[in-house]
Amino acid sequence: MVEVLISYEEHKIVSFAVKGHSGFAPEGTDICCAGVSAIAQTALLGLIKHLQRKPFYQVEKGVLQCKLAPLMDKDEEQTAQIILSTMEAGLLSMQEAYKGFIKVDIRRC
């Protein structure tokens, strides 16, 4: 199962992590894993491209972690939230479509 953790602080997404494989199909042919990976990596690329203060991130086989840099200005923060909330919507939609293969956990502090 692909496990996604999206963390909020003060009503804003501050980090996300994606790990594992869905088991929907053999590795390399798994549309479920490919979809999750595409959504998460596109969000990361959007953050890198559009923010002055680049996020901290790690990408390895089967793992993607991203944490926003602190002290962003208001415009950057708004841009980051648009990108990350769009990612969240896409991942929740995939979770609904591929029940039992993707688990999205949202933690609000």
- Tens-place pLDDT, residues 26-60: 988 999 999 999 999 999 999 999 998 899 999 99
- Tens-place pLDDT, residues 2-22: 999 999 999 999 999 999 999
pTM of the model: 0.95
- What pLDDT was estimated at residue 40? 98
Instruction: Give Dmax over CA atoms of the chain in angstroms.
Output: 43
CATH number of the domain at 93, please.
Answer: 3.30.70.1490
Q: Which residue has the higher pLDDT, 61 or 66?
A: 66
> Range of 31's domain?
2-108
Give how many domains the chain has, as a whole number.
1
